[in-house]
Amino acid sequence: MANIKQILVVLVTLLVASTCVPVSLCAKKPVFSARKEDIPYIKCQVCEKVAKELYQLVEKKKAQFLPKKISEYQIIEMAENMCHLKKEEADWIMKIDIVEQGDKLELVEQEAEGQCNSECKTIERTCQEVLGNSDTDIAEYIFSFKPSIDSVVNYLCKDLTNACRKKPPPVPKDRIPGEPFVPKPSKEVEMEKILRSMEGMPGAPNMQMYSREDLMNMKNFGNEKADDDEDEDEDDETNFPSKLAKVLREKESKKDDWKEKIAEGIKTASETLKSHVNSVSNRMRHWWKGIKASWTNKNSETVKLEL
């Protein structure tokens, strides 16, 4: 009961805070789209990359669950999210830069995440085309056979799909170069993770009217140090009594504690809701698998009787 009350307090606080954002701050970012003409040149590389990333994610998850084992459903869920930028499993896409080298396009991994432009969208679209309906198959392969990373790459890119069965065509000389890779500020990365963790929370859809830039531009958000400096300058200029300055600093300190509690509440609420969603999803998949198995058995028995 206490957890539910905490979640409600956090959501109400966020909704109240969101109504204080000035309309002038709601600036829209340019919308980028995938360059479909580039997909044939990077298809094989994207397939190899997604296979390696999925394998590494599964291994990381296994280490976290020890001594327990992760289920096949958890691996399927990871595979389904590998090519969707809004999901955590697809963060690898944000670190890739498409570089033209001679008559080839090379995927170059960067140290930090970059701004998502047309290259980012192109990689996402290519990943979706490559993985397609094979996400469940590759997940079952990893769960059942516990293969090496090279085996996962070969199975996905040469057996399940034709992504790497032949060499990519040469890049046309008149191809228009893509945008330069621009690293994303660490504050923006942190804000995106917070917003992403709120997806699916009751009441959270009302927060979608403000982008991450809007929230970062909120007055006093993430810039408490600058606010403290401004308060101190104003105190010096107007010669306020020292006791009043002390009171103001104490109020700022309480405001910082309040923000930390909100952030912690968001994290706790997110983890609780995700746990419930995963539990329900696993039960539904298990139920559906049982139904399919019973249908298969009935059909096989019918065929035997007819023979």
pLDDT for 67-93, tens place per residue?
Answer: 999 999 999 999 999 999 999 999 999
C-alpha–C-alpha distance, residues 54 and 152, integer Å: 9
Average pLDDT over residues 239-253: 56
Provide the pLDDT for residue 215. Answer: 55
Which residues are CB-neighbours of 172 under 8 A, at least 6 positions away? none
Q: How sure is the predictor about 246, in pLDDT bands with cuts at 50, 70 and 90?
A: low
Q: At what angle do helices 118-131 and 39-65 cross, to 10 degrees?
A: 70
Q: Where do the structural domains in the chain lie, given as residue ranges?
A: 36-184, 248-291
- pTM of the predicted protein model: 0.60
Which residues face 104 on adjacent strands? 101
Q: Which residue has the higher pLDDT, 46 or 196?
A: 46
Over the chain, what is the mean pLDDT? 78
pLDDT at 3 over 70: no
Q: What is the mean pLDDT of residues 160-172?
A: 96
DSSP 68: S
Q: In the predicted model, what is the mean pLDDT of residues 161-176?
A: 96
**How do strand 104-109 and strand 96-101 relate by DSSP bridges?**
antiparallel
Q: Note the pLDDT of residue 192.
A: 83
Q: Positive or negative, the Cα torsion across 190, 191, 196, 197? A: positive
> Which position has the higher pLDDT, 11 or 136?
136
Q: Which amino acid, residue 256?
A: D
pLDDT tier at 231 (50, 70, 90 boundaries)?
A: low
d(Cα 82, Cα 78) in Å, to the nearest integer? 6
Report the pLDDT value the prediction gives residue 304, as an integer from 0 to 100. 54
Pairwise pLDDT comparison (153 vs 223), residue with the higher score: 153
Instruction: Tell me the C-alpha distance between 283 and 286, whole Å.
Output: 5
Residue 233 is predicted with a pLDDT of 53
